[in-house]
Structure 1
Amino acid sequence: MKPILVLVSVDSNSILLGAKQFVNYLRETLEKYNLKDSVDVLETGSMGVYTQGVVMAVFPDDVYYSVRSVADVEKIVSEHLLKGRPVLSLEIPRERLKLVVEREKVTEEVRIVLRNIGMIDPRSIDQYIARDGYFALHKALFEMKPEQVIETIKESGLRGRGGAGFPTGLKWQFTAKAQADQKYVVCNADEGEPGTFKDRLIMEGDPHSVIEAMIICGYAVGATKGYIYIRGEYYGSVENIQKAIKDAYEYGFLGENILGSGFSFDLTVRLGAGAYVCGEETALLESIEGKSGRPRLKPPYPPTNGLFGKPTVINNVETFANVPQIILNGANWFKQFGTQGSPGTKVFSLVGNVVRRGIVEVPMGVTVRELIYKFGGGLVGGKQLYMVQTGGTAGTFIGVDKLDVPLHYESFRDHGVSIGSGVILAMDEDVCPVDVALNTMEFFEHESCGKCTPCREGTRLAVEILRRMSKGQGKREDLDTLKQIAITTQEASLCGLGQSINVPLLSILDNFREDFLAHIGTTACPKGVCRFEKPMKVKTKV
């Protein structure tokens, strides 16, 4: 190791801000100043909630910079790395540092899933191993029986982090008890929920944690084959996962007779075509099998009749990423975080009008207010918060009266606030709930696979009503019709896509009823933001 180490975030968000260009220029500049023999450059994953630039950290000086141009890189090299003088104009202030990069030192945040992200080169299996990577796999294979692994996951209380919150250990147990000549483990990395990007950053920043967990799961349930189903447009995730799988095979963590244990496991990547409905587990299985990604009728369920009709465990990226640490540290260690009914941590995606957008990992039970104002830095321009959508597009719309509701898997039942996939979409006072509802239902209409009538026709009708309302042509009875659509789709739709429509639609109608009533009997949106309030001007050729 050289005396100085420079870490640079090169996750997909940072790449859009020029991270790759900055890394290349950094290496060229180090060579120009004859510093390449004394400075190591390490590309790493996301280092935290995003500022307006790419995060670049210099160790052992423990200085973090926000880089926006190659000129900034030149300053850091010529001043800090060459002369030992930190560039104050680029340095991230210490009061901001806790929320941006030094997450492990903040008591409010606990990094279990994100513990390696921003700390290692995600393309280096050696660096993963150096931070206890694959130690959990060794422990499971040589110190635990398959049923003990499952019991540990059950005792930990880990629940599915994709949104449904089903007990992970129980799901594994169902598959373990099923009798079959072949079983599968599938990682749902489709992540089609708008505003959600946590799984992408996990795969970009720490792909081996997911792979290690899937191997452990395979050992526990008796599966010898696994698939990671990734959105095709997640280029960084696909690249890093494929590199990690290749390295895992070379090191003997995948393939025949893993580590001499007698257990074998093979892993393959399958790419999705961007269909939101393929986030539903049976539609995902259909897609892996080469069929159209449309949901199956349930029961039977995947734990007994899944991929190719065989018993299959399906968990999402964040769920799997918890597993190695639970196996290493034990169930009681995991249960010290979070709440009694929802142990552990949750990775939240902060989006919308917040100052600092990005991901944050905190114990279950954090409030919406803490996420927006403590970690998100409040609203851009100091504007007033008007509404928040929690849990993603299929989540709940709430007003400021519910900001102090603790977020866990019981919060929807107790307070009408969904945790879902972990999205916190903050919207300021300039947002119109009617326009937001229309945008939401247009998404569901577009993503409906059309297989069942309630979802296909219900979403279409809801969009028609909301478009009329956005133009000031709505009627009071339209609100009752929208509620009936929500109830019908929830009760009669084939899969989770249609069944979840009622959550966002009913919550926005109930919590922002006055905004909808204000659109009735008027010719324009009271806030002047609805897309369809002004008629389009059509140019006619003469």
Structure 2
Amino acid sequence: MDLAELLEIAATERAKQKPIRVHCCTSTGCEAANSLTVKKNLQKAVKEGHLEEQVEIIGVGCMGFCGKGPLVQIDPENTLYEEVTPEQAASIIEGINGGTCNVTQGDINHPFFSRQVRIVREHTGKVDPDRIESYIAVGGYQSLYKTLYDMTPQQVVEEITKSGLRGRGGGGYPTGLKWATVAKMPGKQKYVICNGDEGDPGAFMDRSVLESDPHLVLEGMAIAAYAVGADHGYIYVRAEYPLAIKRLEKAIQQAKKYGILGSQIFESHFDFKVDIRIGAGAFVCGEETALIHSIEGKRGTPRTRPPYPAELGLWECPTLINNVETYANIAPIIREGGNWYASIGTETSKGTKIFALTGKIRNNGLIEVPMGITLREIVEEMGGGIVDGEVKAVQTGGPSGGCIPADLLDTPVDYNSLGKLGSMMGSGGMVVMDENTSMVEVAKFYMEFCQEESCGKCVPCRAGTVQMYEILNKLVNRQATKTDLEKLEALCLVVKETSLCGLGQSAPNPILSTLRYFRAEYEALLQENPLESPNGKVLEQLSVNS
């Protein structure tokens, strides 16, 4: 395939579009609410109304407003319907045909939508993830073609460096610098790995991107492989994401068929093969060295660094590892330029970030916002505030992050600002808590999670998380003393400073942040303190991926 053929496919696909297009969300969240039956009934209603020439029903990925699913959007009039039931599907088609539609209509001008800046999710609700032609029709794979014929590998690395993109997996390491390191490593064999082992409670950003726009990730990986000199890539996805795996497998097959993956891509000298590896769900395999061991068929445990994977990675070869969202940013950056991307966000945090907004919030779902937007703007304007009551805290960064109190909601969302508060960006989980939430219970929940997910390789994490959990359990049962509280703080610092990998090093963060901002709740639970402790339960949403 050459550029002319690629553009011809895009033009043919666009020409086939019907005047009215009905997009029905078929992501995991909406599927759980019976969206596949909604889609089936929409198709049935179109057929019964003899509207096949004017109307087409398209299954698309996540539209973002997960709490109001199943969602159906009508184009080109841009009408959104919320919480559509299978029985209401016919009414939507009747409305299109001039009749009355009695389905709840969403407000597309609501801040939840209008405040977003979509780069990774620019095709959200538009592209059929099961058809490569749908992706090509919106410009898909043109960035890959551009890199192969108009740019040298070094120029690609320079463009990514210029963009200021930082790794979206949590660490925030400069992407261009990581690519440059792998590119300069000697050796004929190099690998590119996509880390899709998203394990934070309440997080579903990567899952949504893989389900909704798998070719965007594949294109980003191929561009990365060209830039660093790799010819083989792996996408590591946890087994709990069956729909993402299914759509990735199909996307890879389709790309191979068109000659966009495999040998001599776009009739060039560049070869790139992609395989999927399915993880068993160990949280620690989100750590890059543990992930590498898992791909190699070994037990998923971290190793000491250095050497880093860029030097000595998969099968002891130089390896580039980025997460799903990082790769999904690559094609737009190549298309629009690094300076364009760098113009969005803040001085030290460029571009946009996807968050899974969940918890005691009116509007929950996926949002993509520019770096530098405040927590208050996200929670109160986009999220609509607490359902009943006031915001008490916002947890960012999952088990590795921290809880930020309501009086700090004006904090900008960027790597440096969140870090100063004892939290972190993480992969993008954002859980909103109300005034009835016990912050000690929250800390206990996350510590129980870390304790269970510890690989057990190093003593500080293996033993320390257990001891911290036991003290938290004593606290919530009003059996702890002041000495226990002092011991808890000391343990947090020891585990943080001496653990082998990021899981153990960040495990104390929820405790340290809640002690920092909500210490009175801990002290109220001590045996010698007669004060009543705050009532409340940990958010149910913490343990459920929406």
With normalisation by structure 1, the TM-score equals 0.93
CA distance in 1, matches of 2:502, 2:31: 34
1:538 is matched with: none
CA distance in 1, matches of 2:451, 2:524: 25
1:496 is matched with: 502
SS of residue in 1 equivalent to 2:195? strand
For residues 26-82 of structure 1, the C-alpha deviation after alignment (integer angstroms, 9 at most, x for no partner) is 2122223333343200000111223433111122332211143222112222x3133
Which one-letter code corresponds to 2:138 in the other structure? R
2:475 is matched with: 469
Deviation at 1:89, TM superposition (A): 4.5
Q: Does 1:80 pair with 2:95?
A: yes
Which one-letter code corresponds to 1:408 in the other structure? D
The answer to whether the 8 Å contact 2:34/2:86 transfers is no
1:428 is matched with: 434
Deviation at 1:452, TM superposition (A): 0.7
SS of residue in 2 equivalent to 1:515? helix
1:158 is matched with: 165
For residues 102-159 of structure 1, the C-alpha deviation after alignment (integer angstroms, 9 at most, x for no partner) is x4xx3x3211110112111111111111111111101100011111111111111110
Identity among equivalent pairs (%)? 43
Write out aligned runs for 1:80-159 (5 A): 80-82=95-97, 84-85=98-99, 87=101, 89-93=103-107, 95-96=109-110, 99=112, 103=113, 106=114, 108-159=115-166
Deviation at 1:210, TM superposition (A): 0.6
Which one-letter code corresponds to 1:91 in the other structure? Q
Aligned length: 521
The answer to whether the 8 Å contact 2:422/2:512 transfers is no
For residues 2-23 of structure 1, the C-alpha deviation after alignment (integer angstroms, 9 at most, x for no partner) is 2321110111000011111111
Change beyond 3 A, Cα 1:416–1:528: closer
2:363 is matched with: 356
For residues 136-189 of structure 1, the C-alpha deviation after alignment (integer angstroms, 9 at most, x for no partner) is 101100011111111111111110001100001111111111111210000000
- Structure 1 window deviating more from structure 2 (288-297 vs 407-416): it is 407-416
Write out aligned runs for 1:275-294 (5 A): 275-294=282-301
The answer to whether the 8 Å contact 2:524/2:531 transfers is no
The answer to whether the 8 Å contact 1:270/1:288 transfers is yes
2:343 is matched with: 336
CA distance in 2, matches of 1:72, 1:408: 42
The answer to whether the 8 Å contact 1:121/1:205 transfers is yes
CA distance in 2, matches of 1:71, 1:367: 40
The answer to whether the 8 Å contact 2:461/2:504 transfers is yes
The answer to whether the 8 Å contact 1:218/1:224 transfers is yes
Q: Does 1:54 pair with 2:70?
A: yes
1:536 is matched with: none
Which one-letter code corresponds to 1:409 in the other structure? Y
CA distance in 2, matches of 1:61, 1:169: 40
The answer to whether the 8 Å contact 1:470/1:530 transfers is no
- Structure 1 window deviating more from structure 2 (307-316 vs 291-300): it is 291-300
SS of residue in 1 equivalent to 2:23? strand
Q: Give me the CA root mean square deviation.
A: 1.6
Task: Tell me which of 10, 14, 19 is aligned to 2:35.
Answer: 19
CA distance in 2, matches of 1:94, 1:134: 29
Q: Does 1:204 pair with 2:211?
A: yes
Where does the alignment leave 5 or more consecutive residues of structure 1 unmatched? Answer: 532-542
For residues 494-528 of structure 1, the C-alpha deviation after alignment (integer angstroms, 9 at most, x for no partner) is 11100112322211111110011111136896234
SS of residue in 1 equivalent to 2:356? strand
2:241 is matched with: 234
Which one-letter code corresponds to 2:72 in the other structure? M
Deviation at 1:95, TM superposition (A): 4.7
The answer to whether the 8 Å contact 2:226/2:270 transfers is yes
Q: Does 1:255 pair with 2:237?
A: no
Where does the alignment leave 5 or more consecutive residues of structure 2 unmatched? Answer: 1-16, 539-546
The answer to whether the 8 Å contact 2:88/2:103 transfers is no
1:179 is matched with: 186
Q: Does 1:517 pair with 2:523?
A: yes
Deviation at 1:296, TM superposition (A): 1.4
Q: Does 1:326 pair with 2:342?
A: no
SS of residue in 2 equivalent to 1:386? strand
Q: Does 1:44 pair with 2:60?
A: yes
Write out aligned runs for 1:375-386 (5 A): 375-381=382-388, 383-386=389-392
- Structure 1 window deviating more from structure 2 (63-72 vs 181-190): it is 63-72
CA distance in 2, matches of 1:310, 1:506: 38
CA distance in 1, matches of 2:419, 2:57: 49
Bigger RCO of structures 1 and 2 (CA < 8 A, at least 6 apart): 2
For residues 333-358 of structure 1, the C-alpha deviation after alignment (integer angstroms, 9 at most, x for no partner) is 00110011111111111011111111
Which one-letter code corresponds to 1:184 in the other structure? Y
Which one-letter code corresponds to 1:189 in the other structure? G
2:405 is matched with: 399
The answer to whether the 8 Å contact 1:17/1:68 transfers is no
SS of residue in 1 equivalent to 2:66? coil
CA distance in 1, matches of 2:497, 2:35: 47
Which one-letter code corresponds to 1:132 in the other structure? G
CA distance in 1, matches of 2:408, 2:427: 19
2:3 is matched with: none
Write out aligned runs for 1:437-448 (5 A): 437-448=443-454
Deviation at 1:88, TM superposition (A): 5.2
The answer to whether the 8 Å contact 2:355/2:367 transfers is yes
1:534 is matched with: none
